[in-house]
Amino acid sequence: MARAATSNPLPPPQRLIGYARVSTDDQLNDAQVDELRAAGCHRIHQEHGSGASRARPILTKLLRELVAGDALVVVRLDRLARSVSHLLDVIEDLEKRGVHFRSLRDPIDTATPQGMFSLQVLGAVAQLERALIAERTKAGIAAAKARGRLAGNPGLRERRPEAVRAISAA
């Protein structure tokens, strides 16, 4: 008796797309690239630029190119973003588009409930840390004012060119 062929299409294989970033031009991405390859990433985008800056052209292009079923993989969370708000914005956008996110050294893989929970806990902890930093900064400024000191960057107050350039670059 002949068996009828069943049409159970297999889901397309998940593409693991790596992103490696170092802060300065004299640093190398080699260790990150090796870890991403070992994790199964076939395409790895590399960038030099500060994590504090959201103006990273390679990351921006990569994020636009990811499609549903893909997974963006980084070695550590700080390679993708320095601020939790930026990290959560990126991951929220990826999730809306059906793209997963995985950090190899952090317990985060948005394809799993545990990974999503870990991400939410990290987000809450980071939000608390930001609030504590703001509180300490305000207390420090108040203490300096009480001692008659001016708050802020002395180089900017004195209009020193190197201080203005440093702030502009940041």
Count: domains in the chain: 2
At 19 the three-state DSSP class reads strand
Tracing tokens 């790596």 back to the chain, one arrives at 18
Residues contacting residue 21 through CB under 8 Å, at least 6 positions apart: 29, 32, 46, 47, 48, 49, 51, 56, 59, 79, 80
- Active-site residue, 23 included: yes
Domain hosting 114: range is 16-121
At 70, list the tokens. Answer: 């893909």
pLDDT in tens, 4-31: 555 555 455 579 999 998 876 667 778 8
Cα 85 vs. chain centroid, distance in angstroms?
A: 9
Question: Catalytic pick from 23, 53, 85, 118?
Answer: 23
For residues 36-58, average pLDDT = 82
| pLDDT confidence of residue 64 | 93
What distance in Å separates the CA atoms of residue 122 and residue 43, rounded to the nearest whole number? Answer: 27
34 membership: H or E segment, kind and range: helix 30-38
Same domain, 114 and 160: no
Say if 85 falls within a structural domain.
Answer: yes
Same domain, 45 and 85: yes
Phi, psi of 86 (to 5 degrees): -65, -45
pLDDT in tens, 96-153: 999 999 999 988 898 889 988 888 887 787 778 778 888 988 888 888 888 888 777 7
Same domain, 27 and 76: yes
| pTM of the predicted structure, to 2 decimals | 0.66
Q: What is the CATH number of the domain that holds 88?
A: 3.40.50.1390
